[in-house]
Structure formats: structure tokens, C-alpha cells
Structure 1
């Protein structure tokens, strides 16, 4: 769901908690527990943790009202992660209103934070190739290749079983965000690497024999060794940008990458405009320089 910003400081929580009675704090904490428990069957454990991390400081320090929400968000500063907190609070308030715990939904009177216009870095195919060359073993090469081919999220990648792979169509059936099943593509390059990995793995086993944190550690090690920013989201952004460069529509990219709407795809592919213009600029300078030398 994205990274969290710094939490409100202990002082800020204590200052706001003085405005709430102990019984109110306990009541809001209980409602939060009920909300989280109600979502367990429909969302992933990681999203459960996301809700708990975002909503606990809010429920324990601020009133569930439009003023309380605005005060909480104001203490978070800036950044896209602030939008994640807003979305978590919105889901919580919508649930409270549907269940009849609050007569009016306060989130209706709170403006959503504006997303950052920052251009996000993405991995190029040249960088992917270099990362693969620096891998210590076949398994790590296959992971890098599959991340680049499919744009999978980290948890999706970490839970692939041999039986999920369709060798005829070059697609993998995965459980995506919100426990929704979807298919992700891969190329012949990745297929060759996967076939070499699989003899060491049982048919029903996780093909990597690694947890998500193990894959993260491997990527961090590569980042330190190569100086290339290397994480699953960087590959995901690169997946979107590289397909866009090859002429695929944003709608096609959305479906291939498992996004629910176009907003993230459009945000990721914004970086292409400047990068490609810069490349054209450099090519033009080289061309003009060579022409001057001829004369």
C-alpha cells in the first residue's frame, strides 16, 4: 500500500489525547479492532498491518470527526504517504457509518491530500540487464528477470508456486492485492531461467524458498553493490514505463500490471516525457557537434 510517513510525535498524541476522555479513547480503540477484524477475510495480512499502523495513532489521539481528521493529517507534514493515511481513515469512517456507529460520515467534509508531483525513478532495461549480470546465482537472476517482465508486487512474487506457472502461455497465476487472483506475463528469457530453477523445487513449493524480507535483502545487497536503486516498486515502475515506450496503451498496462485504475499508471509513466526529451536533446547535441567538425 505504499510507505508510511513519520507518525505524529508522542508529544502531539499526548497533547491531543488530553481533549479525549479515557473512555472515548478506549471506545475508539475498540472500534478500530472491530474494523480490522471485519476485514481479515478480504484483505492481505500486510494490508491489515497497514490499517493498524495508520489508524492506531489516529484512534488513540484524535476525535473521529472532520476536525479531528484534519488535525491528524496536518501533523503528518507532506508527501504521498499522507494520502495513504487519508485512505485508511476513509475506509475506517465508511465502515463506521455503514455499521451505524456514527450518524454522519466525517470524511465527507475532509479534502483528500493532493498527491505529490514528484517524478519517480524507474529501472531501465539496461539497468535490469546489469543487475542480472551482478547476481550471485541463478535464482536471483530469475527473480530480477521476472520482476522486470511482470511488474509484480513483492508479496505476489514471494508466493509463486510451480503449479501457478503456465508454460504454454507464459503467464503466472498470482494472488494480488486484496486477495484477488490475476495473471502476470513473463518472457522467454525468464522462462529459461525459471526452468533451470525448478528442478530443485517441489511441484507445490514456493519456487524461491524465500520470504518477502529475504527477497528484499537480496535486492538491497544488489543496490549496495551496483549503486542502482533496486526494489520491487522500482521494477514495477520500470515495467509500466518500458511498456509505454514500446507503444502499449495505459489501459493495457493497467490490466497487465494488476492496477485497479489508471491513476498510478499515469503517475509512473510521467517520468518518460522528461527522460525521452533529455535523450533527444543529447542526440541533437551530438549530431550538431559532428556537423560542426565536418566544416
Structure 2
């Protein structure tokens, strides 16, 4: 093992040394290695193929509390990489990954955001392999984050919200819209709500966010009225807060909510209406009206305040007013 280690160094240094320097380095290396014990940190991969390692990685992520959607996205993304190569994971190089990302971007016309998301997933996978001693070095370390231009994303205006309310065809859909406007909760949190999670006296409900974190969110009086009206019309015994229109009245899923909002947006002549737009709208309006950013962070269930700042834009009209006030 020592001789292999020494020869690897000598071969890499050979182009930079003359014969005398090469002999001197050989002597120094052999003397130094006599005093140390060298063992191979990498585990034997003969019985572990790439896809077994992937399953082990995903199991580790499940234990860490990653959501089912995240696990599925990890599996799909890494699976594509592994199927595109005939190399073992310990032989995949930085250049292999760079070429893969370049090809993926060209073939799929992928955005910079998509490519950076793939890069982050690869980084997580190869970091785990390095930490578990399946590879010596994470090849993604030398692939830097993809720089993306900041895009100002649209929010819903007060007029938009009124038009959306007017175009809700059912009390259920109106209750969903009101709850999203009032709380800014994630669509996954909304569909997981049960009737028992609501406290109408305090106008609050308990939601379970990412990583199974629990928090309390609050809704206004208008939302309370529409929720009670909706629940009073229900004849089923499903504990879910929102259910389908037809028997057997199953819990409404994420796709169902997104589809209903898209239809309401189409009828309202408002483009790109989706659950997350309500969340971004709430964050922006809360900050514009003076709510401390730390409280907005808690309301949205963000672990990092940077995430809250990413969601919340400052209203350009408010910037103009502030400029006149403070600068003239």
C-alpha cells in the first residue's frame, strides 16, 4: 500500500522534476512513509453496485426526515445519471458530471434553476458517499453553484383576489381560496389539514410543515365564516378538512387543489394562479405593511430568514414613496 501511495505521488510530480529532484523526492517519501501506517479508506464496492448505493443514500435521507416528494425527486434525478454511465460511482469524475449537466441543459432546454437543483442533488449524493468512505473525494465540490438572475415574481393584487373570490363556483373552493389568502400555508399543508386541526374560537389551525415541523397559523373572520358554511354543508364523515365533491368523498389532494385554482384563474382571466402565489402574496403584503421579517418567517414556517426574504418582494410603489420621504 505504501509503495502504491508513493508511486502515485512520484508519477504526478515527474513532469515538474529533474532527475536529481526526482531521486531526492523518492528518498524523502520512503523515509517518511516508514513512520506511518496507511490504510485504504474506500470501502470494497465489489458487492455494491451504483443502484444499491443509491437506495442506501435514499434510506439515509428518509431517516433524516426528508419528505416523500423529495425522496422521489432524488431517486429520479440520480437514477438518470447512473443509467447514463457505465462507471462505478468511485470512478465518476468532475468532468463526467459537468458534461452530463451540459448535455441535460442542451437536450431539455433546462433553466439555470433546474440545472442548479440537479447539481445540488448530485452534491448531496456524492457528499454522502464521501462521508461513508465509498469514495475518496466528492467530484461535485469543484462544480460551482449556477448563477441565476433574480426574477421579480408576480403576486396577486387586491383586485385579483376579489375577482378570484367572485369566480369560485362552490363554497369549498371559496373556503380554500380564503384559507390560502389568509394563512399563506403550503398546498401540502392545506391538503393534510383535518377538521380537528381548526380552532374557530381563536381563528387558528395547526399545520405540519417540512420535516414534520408543527406550527400554528391564523385566519381572518371572513375565512372563518366560509369554512363554517362549507363544513355545515358536508354530509360525509371524512376527518379531512377538504374532500372531493363526489362519493366516497376522499381527501382532496395537491393535484386537485392546483387544478381547481388553475380553472378559477382561467375564468378570472388571471395568469398562473397556483397555491404558492398566495403564499408569496401574503409574505410580500405582510412586509410591506410593516410586519417584522422574523414574524413573517415564523408565520411561513421557514427555518432560515434568507428563505423568507426570497419569497417577499418590496412593492415598487412603496420604494417610490420611501424615496420621496427620505431622499426627496
Q: TM-score, normalised by structure 1?
A: 0.78
1:217 is matched with which residue: 239, 259, 262? Answer: 259
Q: How does 1:124-203 map to 2 (within 5 A)?
A: 124-199=157-232, 200=234
Once the two structures are TM-superposed, the CA of residue 67 in structure 1 deviates from its matched residue by 2.5
Change (3 A) 1:153 1:115: farther
Once the two structures are TM-superposed, the CA of residue 60 in structure 1 deviates from its matched residue by 2.2
1:69 aligned residue:
97
Encode CA deviations 1:171-192: one digit per residue, 9 max, x unaligned.
2211211222222221121111
Encode CA deviations 1:233-288: one digit per residue, 9 max, x unaligned.
11111111111111112222111111221333222323x3435457x6xxxxxxxx
2:216 aligns to what SS in structure 1? strand
Segments of 5+ residues of structure 1 without an aligned counterpart are 1-22, 281-295
For residues 156 and 174 of structure 2, the distance between their equivalents in structure 1, rounded to whole angstroms, comes to 15
For residues 213 and 149 of structure 2, the distance between their equivalents in structure 1, rounded to whole angstroms, comes to 28
Change (3 A) 1:275 1:78: farther
1:28 is matched with which residue: 42, 50, 61? Answer: 50
Once the two structures are TM-superposed, the CA of residue 152 in structure 1 deviates from its matched residue by 1.3
Change (3 A) 1:65 1:115: same
Q: Contact conserved, 1:135 with 1:222, CA < 8 A, in 2?
A: yes
For residues 69 and 171 of structure 1, the distance between their equivalents in structure 2, rounded to whole angstroms, comes to 48
For residues 215 and 228 of structure 2, the distance between their equivalents in structure 1, rounded to whole angstroms, comes to 22
Deviates more, 1:63-72 or 1:245-254: 63-72
Is residue 90 from structure 1 mapped to residue 123 from structure 2 by the alignment?
yes
Task: Work out which of the two has the higher radius of gyration on C-alpha atoms and give 1 or 2.
Answer: 2
Q: How does 1:91-130 map to 2 (within 5 A)?
A: 91-130=124-163
Q: Contact conserved, 2:123 with 2:138, CA < 8 A, in 1?
A: no
2:269 is matched with which residue: 227, 245, 248? Answer: 227
For residues 67 and 75 of structure 2, the distance between their equivalents in structure 1, rounded to whole angstroms, comes to 13
Bigger relative contact order (CA 8 A; separation at least 6):
1
For residues 58 and 231 of structure 2, the distance between their equivalents in structure 1, rounded to whole angstroms, comes to 38
Q: TM-score, normalised by structure 2?
A: 0.70
1:190 aligns to what SS in structure 2? helix
Q: How does 1:253-292 map to 2 (within 5 A)?
A: 253-270=296-313, 272-274=314-316, 276=318
1:109 aligns to what SS in structure 2? coil
1:292 aligned residue:
none
Change (3 A) 1:106 1:239: same
1:74 aligns to what SS in structure 2? helix
Structure (1 or 2) with the greater helix fraction: 1
Q: Contact conserved, 2:183 with 2:218, CA < 8 A, in 1?
A: yes
Once the two structures are TM-superposed, the CA of residue 130 in structure 1 deviates from its matched residue by 1.5
Query: RMSD across aligned C-alpha pairs, in angstroms?
Result: 2.6
Q: Contact conserved, 2:284 with 2:315, CA < 8 A, in 1?
A: no
Q: Contact conserved, 1:148 with 1:236, CA < 8 A, in 2?
A: yes
Once the two structures are TM-superposed, the CA of residue 203 in structure 1 deviates from its matched residue by 7.2
Change (3 A) 1:149 1:201: farther
Encode CA deviations 1:131-154: one digit per residue, 9 max, x unaligned.
011100111011011111111111
